[in-house]
Amino acid sequence: MVLDRYARFADSADVLSCPLCHSALKLQEGSLVCPKRHCFDIAKQGYVNLLGPSRQSAHYSKESFESRMAILEAGYYDHVKEAVLTAVGRALSPSEGPAAVNATPFRVLDAGCGEGFYARAIRENLCVDVVAFDLSKDAILMAARHDSRKAVKWLVGDLTNIPVLKGSINCVVDVFAPSNYDEFKRVLTPTRNASAPGVLVKVVPGSNHLTELRHLAEGSLRSKEYSNQLVTDCFEKHFKMTDRIKVTRTFEMSERDVRVFAEMTPLLFGIDAESLNLSRVKSITIEAELLVGTPRSQGPS
């Protein structure tokens, strides 16, 4: 009998790749094994470490992910979550219908998934297969523990060497995380072979994101204002923009939540939060832009 923590990896040979030799990984008892016998055990929490030796940023500690989860679960990012669900749902629509009944599952990759807030929402609300990875083992452990459905393939993995087979993903989701556009294009379904091209949904901060904290800390920041233009330009260099959606909400917050927010946001990394008069902040704006696109042609491979 296949245990719950193993069942989600039953089709691994169709999507996951060995980080050492890049061949397909197949479920064998409680491990993922490639033809060259590289073996990766499935942890009891339901994740697999497919990361070689790598240094992690001290900013992204277990405590920082716990702070992020507290803010996310409090509902402050629900409008961003709903926008992501809508964008992925639109990407899913072309593959639905009678012709898709016997097709391979629609697969979503959450790149840099952190504690798994968006990956869990996608799996719970849409009829899709979800693979999610992050460089932080602490984050993935947290994500796996909170996955009550035991349905997401959680991986510790590297953005520079995504442990996913070429052309096996229909939609990449990248929420407030770094991008590797070459890797995204590699794993996405090729346009010439798919009924619908692979789609990237990249979420970036809007110009008014955290404007209250930015104004409070402006003396310690390199720039008083934020623009995502450079990020957008880089996106459009690699992907053809098919949609761009802005979502914004301003929330009244307790001083406690403001302090938790200050601990989690990269905006204040390197700044002593205790030196800021956070009690002055009564509300915080959460603004995001979703950049949606398909890979620009790379020519024959």
- 116 carries a ligand binding annotation: yes
Tokens of residue 164, six digits: 């996913």
Is residue 156 within 8 Å of 19, Cβ to Cβ?
no
CA distance 237 to 63: 36
For 99-210, where are the alpha helices, taking DSSP H only? Answer: 117-125, 137-145, 181-187
- 34 carries a ligand binding annotation: yes
SS3 call for 286: strand
Give ∠ CA 162-165-170 in degrees, rounded to 5: 90
- 209 carries a ligand binding annotation: yes
- 21 carries a ligand binding annotation: yes
Is residue 288 within 8 Å of 195, Cβ to Cβ?
no
- 39 carries a ligand binding annotation: no
CA distance 89 to 95: 10
Tokens of residue 156, six digits: 């510790």
Is residue 151 within 8 Å of 122, Cβ to Cβ?
no
- 171 carries a ligand binding annotation: no
Q: Give binding residues for S-adenosyl-L-methionine as ranges.
A: 77, 115-116, 209
Q: Give binding residues as ranges.
A: 18, 21, 34, 38, 77, 115-116, 209
Q: Give binding residues for Zn(2+) as ranges.
A: 18, 21, 34, 38
